[in-house]
Structure 1
Amino acid sequence: MSTRESSSASPVLPPLQVADGNSLDWDEQCDVLVVGWGAAGACAALEARARGADVLIADRFTGGGASAKSGGVVYAGGGTRHQLAAGFNDSPEAMFDYLKHETHNVISDDTLRRFCADSVGNLAWLESHGAPYSHQMPPGGKTSYPSDGYYLYYSGNELVPAYGGSMAPAPRGHRTVGKGQGGAVLYAHLKSACLRAGARPLLQAAARRLVTDPQGRVLGVEFYCLPAGSKPALLHARLAARAERLQNFAPGYCNKLRHKVRQLERDFAQPRRVQARKGVILSTGGFIFNRQLLEQHAPKFVRNFKVGATGCDGSGLRLGQSCGGQGERLERVSAWRFLNPPYSWHKGIVVNRTGQRFCNEEVYGATLGQPLMEEQGGKAWLVLDAPLRKKAICEALFGGYWWFQSFPALALMLLKVRKGKSLGELAATTGMDPAALSASVLAANAAARGEGPEPFGKSAGGRQVLEQGPFYACDISVNNPLFPLGALTLGGLRVDERSGAVLDGQGQPIEGLYAAGRSALGIPSHLYISGLSLADCVFSGRRAGAAASAAPKHKLSD
């Protein structure tokens, strides 16, 4: 890995090797040390505390991370009580059947089956710690994110025939009950539960390097901490909170805030060493805010709008790699181009810059965003005819969608749009090949009339004849500032799928080191669907917490 660091990323140094734990003056000791206090870290801490371990949980900021900024959707199935209340008899087998298609063997079948079998219990476990869920479904059950009052929905491709699997589809997106983005609600409950359980927080503490012995066992972590209550610490907290709050509106300004945050750490943070007698768990998120890592592993996604939090700078990944851990699927990035809502959008067709159709428009946003970025250079058009555009505008105005769904949709249809009285005129104004565009529309129209096959497997309900001009081409490209194309990283450290222990180059566990959440390779590391990341935070966090708390304490030399 390049040693060059992003100016706003927390730096990671090579491990500090000591003869044994007694040869270093530790500032703090614990059984299990959790690095990163988002959902995965909180779940790891809660599980370790429940098993009797003394837990310290550290965070570069004040906790929350990307989890607190998320929609708070937990992908859960197999027969949760909320599915049953909504009239769905889901099963772990049906959940596995669907997820097997989406995960593409990124984890073993045994692990995926265990994830599905544990799903009902893991959601109930969240509820036992105060997180509320319910069964009200939005009209149609399909949306990119349900509005307030609706808390159960089809959050992936379950309703798309080519993706749904051989068993009956079921809604598995459980949105945490509360007003606004549910991630803040979910995280508030997890944070309170950690404190009630006796986990000790260490805040505004950036993990700088691991501490190891000559055999490579991880003994602890050296942090650089801002003095609690100091002016630099207070300013650091204000700037970081502002960067998170305004990211959706002014990403450039927020990048400048992150540089100031990093400068405060450079100028005022002091070293603090924490010994972990049983194990260290890395749970700091992905690396979407580390431009150098993106350029190295996923350069096609550098232009995307960044979905995540400032702490998603790859520090967990880099810490693990510093002592021999292996990253995997680091090139996998989830790019979100949702065409729902407005609901009618998916009845149009998406074409590339030459006018060729390349996808099924009714698929989940990441399933569409992947080929758009990987195969089409991030450039595409959504083609509508006059009646379909009019209907979609009415839906955006009066459909009761979130502002972040309706405003960009209206801007796209009213401002970033090209118009042509005919398909040939539309091709001329967009630079598309008129023959290619005409062929794409004619094939889709024939399928909508039942006169030919649907080229990309769109369901009968998603097809509509596009024949009434004028025709419109809405720019859904990555560089359209009015319609951001968000992205987050999916790859992470290879781990033992039974324990969450980080694996070295020979596939052997690194003693004393575990990873969870987006810092680890996991369930959502091939392709994202809504709720799968938080569900994996619970699954992998609890797994790592259980394994670390059960590990023998490191024997110190006399």
Structure 2
Amino acid sequence: MGQEVEAVRETDVPGWDNSVDVLVVGYGVAGACAALEAHRAGARVLVVERASGGGGASAMSSGIFYLGGGTAVQKACGYDDDPEEMYKFLMASSGAPDASIVRSFCENSVAHFDWLEAQGVPFERTSFKGKAVFLNTTECLFSTGNEKLWPYKQIARPAPRGHKVAGVGENAGAKAMEALLRTCNAEGVPAIYDSGVTALIRNDEGRVVGARIRQPGRELFVRAARGVILTTGSFNLNKEMTSKYLPLLSETSEPLGIPSNDGSGIKLGLSVGAATQAMDGVIATASIYPPAQLIKGILVNKRGERFVAEDSYHGRTAAFIMEQPDQTAYLIVDSEIFAYPEIETHQHRLIDGWETVEEMEAGLELPEGSLQKTLADYNHYAAEGRDPFLFKDPEWLKPLDKGPYAAFDVSFNKSIYLFIALGGLKTNAHAQVLDPRGNPVPGLYAAGACAAHIPQTGKGYASGLSLGPGSWFGRVAGRHAAGCR
């Protein structure tokens, strides 16, 4: 889809090729959930998908759903959580401007988990207690955000909320999508593939009433009597948009997603007067862990100063590294905790080893005395089990005083940071797309990554805050568009 998109007036439609109640554009997790709920509510539904089959970027994900409030898995694994604690944490950490959206997600999280299982999405009653980015096992529950980080642990009771489907590796999300698509197919939800929506259609009153669809060799006009739901994914793969909205990305940054994550849904929304939100938000990752022992090291910038608690969620750490002078950062370790970062694709380079801190400071070309002071202060308080500067948890504190020392280059413009855009169409708690005045665009809904995420920046992200809210608000959109209030 080109950069410029224009809506089509209903009076210019040559004729309707099909008429449905709810048209769902995109068949990832949000689209599948939207279509299923609208169909079950009695609406005539059609799903339009650009690819040759369903799944979207959700099927390429690590399959983590951020859910909490006391899910069956949390209870089985012995963790105490409730919706209010989840809400307090997300409001404090995410920067979400609409509390009603966060409240809806948190208060319905337990029931939504049960719903996902009822559709066949597999979750074990197991947990992983270590620090990981993704799991190469089928274990389910683990900490995937900043719940244990200061100051959030003082605001809300920490609990692990990352629920990974019972798949293995970086693309475990395929297991979730297989189940949801199987359920959609079993219940007769209609879908067409190799079909791209090129324009929304609206009537003289400004209501979205359908879409123009391009298929190989022909063009279709489909009427949607009750609403169009956009679930088209993010704009990660659109270089023009990422250059415009995410200027801090470096040449070594690589987008996570699939080719159709080109911002098409956002552009369709803009064509009918929609507002956007958090378009400069991005979650990037090039984690220093595993192994977890590296968290006991320190991260310093080119001034030899620490700037983030090293036990932060890897996306939060990346967001701070992105903002450092020249986007430069080094991971400093001593001989007791030395190890190579295990995710080799991030390409954190070992710079060298040194016998003394003074030699390391000179080797890294840091200001004279800077690293020496940083380490002296850090070691002094680490020996007492505290970090009065950045409040790193005592679990990860140890004096770095056992030479020789080593440094890894984890700079944002040197290592390979993978990223997801967090901005998109502005929506309300009913998943209705809003205009710049905060009023719903009649007949238009959005869910998933083409809508603005709950977390507005990478500093407030947690793994699973795409699939979790995306699937929930997909359901919300489907029900609301079908007429359930």
TM-score range, shorter chain: over 0.9
CA contact (8 A) 2:124 2:138 kept: no
Give the deviation of 1:37 after TM superposition: 0.8
> Which residue identity lines up with residue 435 of structure 2 in the other structure?
D
Of 20, 34, 57, the match for 1:44: 34
> Which residue identity lines up with residue 158 of structure 2 in the other structure?
P
Of 359, 362, 382, the match for 2:311: 362
Which residue of the partner structure matches residue 437 of structure 1? 371
CA contact (8 A) 1:10 1:206 kept: no
Give the deviation of 1:24 after TM superposition: 3.2
Which residue of the partner structure matches residue 63 of structure 1? 54
Residues 234-258 of structure 1: CA deviation (Å, up to 9, x unaligned): xxxxxxxxxxxxxxxxxxxxxxxxx
Of 209, 212, 237, the match for 1:219: 209
> Which residue identity lines up with residue 442 of structure 2 in the other structure?
E
Which residue of the partner structure matches residue 428 of structure 2? 496
SS in 2 for 1:477: coil
Partners of 1:511 and 1:451 in 2: CA distance = 57
Residues 83-114 of structure 1: CA deviation (Å, up to 9, x unaligned): 11111121111211221222223322x33222
SS in 2 for 1:164: helix
Q: What does 1:92-171 align with in structure 2 at a 5 Å threshold?
A: 92-108=83-99, 110-138=100-128, 140-171=129-160
* 1:296 is aligned to 2:210: no
Partners of 1:77 and 1:484 in 2: CA distance = 31
Unpaired runs of 5+ in structure 2?
none
Unpaired runs of 5+ in structure 1?
1-8, 227-268, 397-404, 553-558
> Which residue identity lines up with residue 66 of structure 1 in the other structure?
A
Partners of 2:179 and 2:327 in 1: CA distance = 38
Of 7, 30, 33, the match for 1:15: 7
> Which residue identity lines up with residue 53 of structure 1 in the other structure?
A
Partners of 2:97 and 2:72 in 1: CA distance = 29
Q: What does 1:298-447 align with in structure 2 at a 5 Å threshold?
A: 298-303=246-251, 304-389=253-338, 392-393=339-340, 405-408=342-345, 412=348, 416-447=350-381
CA contact (8 A) 2:284 2:419 kept: yes
SS in 1 for 2:336: helix
Residues 502-532 of structure 1: CA deviation (Å, up to 9, x unaligned): 1112222111111111111242334321111
> Which residue identity lines up with residue 382 of structure 1 in the other structure?
L
CA contact (8 A) 1:36 1:283 kept: yes
CA contact (8 A) 1:350 1:361 kept: yes
Q: What does 1:463-542 align with in structure 2 at a 5 Å threshold?
A: 463-480=397-414, 483-497=415-429, 499-526=430-457, 527-542=460-475
Partners of 1:377 and 1:551 in 2: CA distance = 52
Give the deviation of 1:11 after TM superposition: 5.2
* 1:202 is aligned to 2:192: yes
SS in 2 for 1:133: coil
Q: What does 1:134-283 align with in structure 2 at a 5 Å threshold?
A: 134-138=124-128, 140-180=129-169, 181-226=171-216, 270-283=218-231
Partners of 1:515 and 1:154 in 2: CA distance = 28
Moved more, 375-384 or 305-314: 375-384
Residues 321-368 of structure 1: CA deviation (Å, up to 9, x unaligned): 011001111011111232321111110000112221111000101111
Partners of 1:366 and 1:330 in 2: CA distance = 17
Give the deviation of 1:380 after TM superposition: 0.8
Residues 403-436 of structure 1: CA deviation (Å, up to 9, x unaligned): xx44358x64xx5323222222222222222321
* 1:457 is aligned to 2:391: yes
Note closer, same or farther for the CA distance 1:17–1:451 as it changes in structure 2 (3 Å cut): closer
SS in 1 for 2:153: coil
Moved more, 94-103 or 456-465: 94-103
Note closer, same or farther for the CA distance 1:433–1:135 as it changes in structure 2 (3 Å cut): farther
Give the deviation of 1:551 after TM superposition: 7.7
CA contact (8 A) 2:45 2:190 kept: yes
Partners of 1:475 and 1:485 in 2: CA distance = 13
Partners of 1:15 and 1:371 in 2: CA distance = 40
Give the deviation of 1:171 after TM superposition: 1.4
More helix by share: 1
SS in 1 for 2:333: strand
Note closer, same or farther for the CA distance 1:66–1:270 as it changes in structure 2 (3 Å cut): same
Moved more, 507-516 or 425-434: 425-434
CA contact (8 A) 2:335 2:402 kept: yes
Give the deviation of 1:54 after TM superposition: 1.0
Give the deviation of 1:168 after TM superposition: 3.1
Give the deviation of 1:378 after TM superposition: 2.8
Partners of 2:466 and 2:24 in 1: CA distance = 19
Partners of 1:11 and 1:452 in 2: CA distance = 52
Note closer, same or farther for the CA distance 1:453–1:75 as it changes in structure 2 (3 Å cut): closer
Which residue of the partner structure matches residue 71 of structure 2? 80
SS in 2 for 1:540: helix
Partners of 1:520 and 1:484 in 2: CA distance = 26
Partners of 2:19 and 2:296 in 1: CA distance = 59
Give the deviation of 1:467 after TM superposition: 1.6
Partners of 1:284 and 1:427 in 2: CA distance = 48
Note closer, same or farther for the CA distance 1:145–1:168 as it changes in structure 2 (3 Å cut): same
SS in 2 for 1:434: coil
Give the deviation of 1:542 after TM superposition: 0.8
> Which residue identity lines up with residue 69 of structure 2 in the other structure?
G
Which residue of the partner structure matches residue 256 of structure 1? none
CA RMSD of aligned residues (A): 2.0
Residues 520-554 of structure 1: CA deviation (Å, up to 9, x unaligned): 124233432111111111221011111111189xx
Note closer, same or farther for the CA distance 1:142–1:161 as it changes in structure 2 (3 Å cut): same
Moved more, 83-92 or 297-306: 297-306
CA contact (8 A) 2:95 2:455 kept: no
Residues 29-78 of structure 1: CA deviation (Å, up to 9, x unaligned): 21110111111111111110110111111111122222111111111111
Aligned residues: 480
Give the deviation of 1:288 after TM superposition: 1.0
Partners of 2:236 and 2:176 in 1: CA distance = 22
Normalising by structure 2, what TM-score? 0.94
